[in-house]
Amino acid sequence: MIDIQTQFVKNVLEGAGLSLKDSGSAFAPSNIALSKYWGKRDPELNLPINSSLSISLGNLGTKTKIRLADADSVSLNGTPVDLNDGFAIRTLEFLKLFPMVGTHFEVRTENNIPTAAGLASSASGFAALVLALNDLAGWELGGRMLSMLARLGSGSASRSIFEGFVQWHAGNCDDGSDSFAEPFSKPWNEFRIGILELSNARKPVGSRDGMNRTVQTSELYKSWPAQANRDIETIRTAIHTQDFPTLGKAAENNALAMHATMMSAWPPLLYLQPESIEMIHQVQRVRAEGLEVYLTIDAGPNIKLLFLEENESQVAAAFPRLQVIQPFG
């Protein structure tokens, strides 16, 4: 009997050609969600309870090269990965969904962001893997179909297929055929993202497990979907009108509300570290002094700042370790 993921892949690839090359390679950017996805209505197909909206991180992300092989092998940043390691297991389990391409693969992945530290490395990783597969197999799929395939590896990977502002539609169909990401809006050249990397250690609880725990045990989660739906509309409108204060407030509130649902789960999920809390206070202090800067946080300790080009020098002075990204640069 064909399992639900395999059937989904067959449906997506129906009508696609197959013209194998010696190897396939691709780059995919990481992304930061301004309006978060947290919670699944279907774990097998990675169908989210609510839609989400993100901004890509330019040249920060994952480059992957893949070729057919006699035996499986995986490397990360030039170092072979034990096939019993979680990273290798997830990678190879995903590739088993594509027997029409091959049985064994050699996968070479390079991340220029920390792996599993709350900087969306799995998003860029699975997006790059799908794009590399598309290159290897000669499917010539469009972005919508590629985003649906990437979604099976990591929900956020559906957004990393694209650059710029991207919305992942939650969809309503049980078969997942209307849950895909797509880019929208024109470039906002003055928009800046600042990364405060406070830890590059792997998270003690991965996003997938943390998400399931939150949905199952958090009382606060009951109000999350409605807030997420309001926030995404507010942020979409703010992007179209380039209303930065409205965008910043909504994104910061959305992130902190998501962390509140995590902390009310049982056992509580505390992705934030003491330095994370201090940086949140620092953002609030400098904003009270008149500097227009906001924050967002994914499922990890690292803080991302949102600000405009006109305030870049002041924000960099207030946060000396800041890595500034121009997503439309």
Domain boundary among 183, 212, 242: 183
- Whole-number mean pLDDT of the chain? 94
For residues 128 and 274, membership in a common domain is answered with no
Residue type, 213: R
Q: Is the pLDDT of residue 120 over 70?
A: no
Considering Cα of 5, then 7, then 11, then 17, what sign does the dihedral take? positive
Alpha carbons 96 and 178: distance in angstroms, whole number = 23
Q: Is the pLDDT of residue 6 over 90?
A: yes
Q: How many CB atoms lie within 10 A of CB 158?
A: 35
Find the mean pLDDT for residues 16-45. 95
Alpha carbons 258 and 260: distance in angstroms, whole number = 5
Find the mean pLDDT for residues 217-228. 95
Q: Which two tokens stand for residue 11?
A: 């449906």
For residues 227 and 108, membership in a common domain is answered with no
For residues 84 and 202, membership in a common domain is answered with no
- H/E stretch holding 233: helix 224-241
Residue 18's pLDDT band, with cuts at 50, 70 and 90, is: very high
pLDDT tens for 47-82 read: 999 999 999 998 999 999 999 999 999 999 999 999
CATH of the domain at 130: 3.30.230.10
For residues 200 and 287, membership in a common domain is answered with yes
Residue 116's pLDDT band, with cuts at 50, 70 and 90, is: very low
CATH of the domain at 281: 3.30.70.890
Predicted local distance difference test score (pLDDT) of residue 152 = 97
Find the mean pLDDT for residues 295-324. 95
Residue 201's pLDDT band, with cuts at 50, 70 and 90, is: confident
The SS3 call for residue 248 is: helix
The SS3 call for residue 84 is: coil
Number of domains within the chain: 2
**106: β partners:** 67, 73
Find the mean pLDDT for residues 176-181. 97
For residues 167 and 251, membership in a common domain is answered with no
Q: Is the pLDDT of residue 115 over 80?
A: no
DSSP 229: H
List the domain range (segments joined by +) for residue 232: 191-325
For residues 77 and 176, membership in a common domain is answered with yes
Q: Is the pLDDT of residue 200 over 80?
A: no
For residues 301 and 281, membership in a common domain is answered with yes
Q: Is the pLDDT of residue 198 over 50?
A: yes
Q: Which two tokens stand for residue 313?
A: 């020098």
Q: Is the pLDDT of residue 283 over 60?
A: yes
Q: Is the pLDDT of residue 119 over 80?
A: no
For residues 147 and 198, membership in a common domain is answered with no
For residues 228 and 141, membership in a common domain is answered with no
Domain boundary among 163, 183, 203: 183
For residues 245 and 290, membership in a common domain is answered with yes
For residues 103 and 242, membership in a common domain is answered with no
Q: Is the pLDDT of residue 180 over 70?
A: yes
Alpha carbons 145 and 207: distance in angstroms, whole number = 24
For residues 9 and 129, membership in a common domain is answered with yes
The SS3 call for residue 167 is: strand
> Scanning the structure block, which residue is given the tokens 């994104």?
251
pLDDT tens for 242-264 read: 999 999 999 999 999 999 999 99
Domain boundary among 136, 151, 183: 183
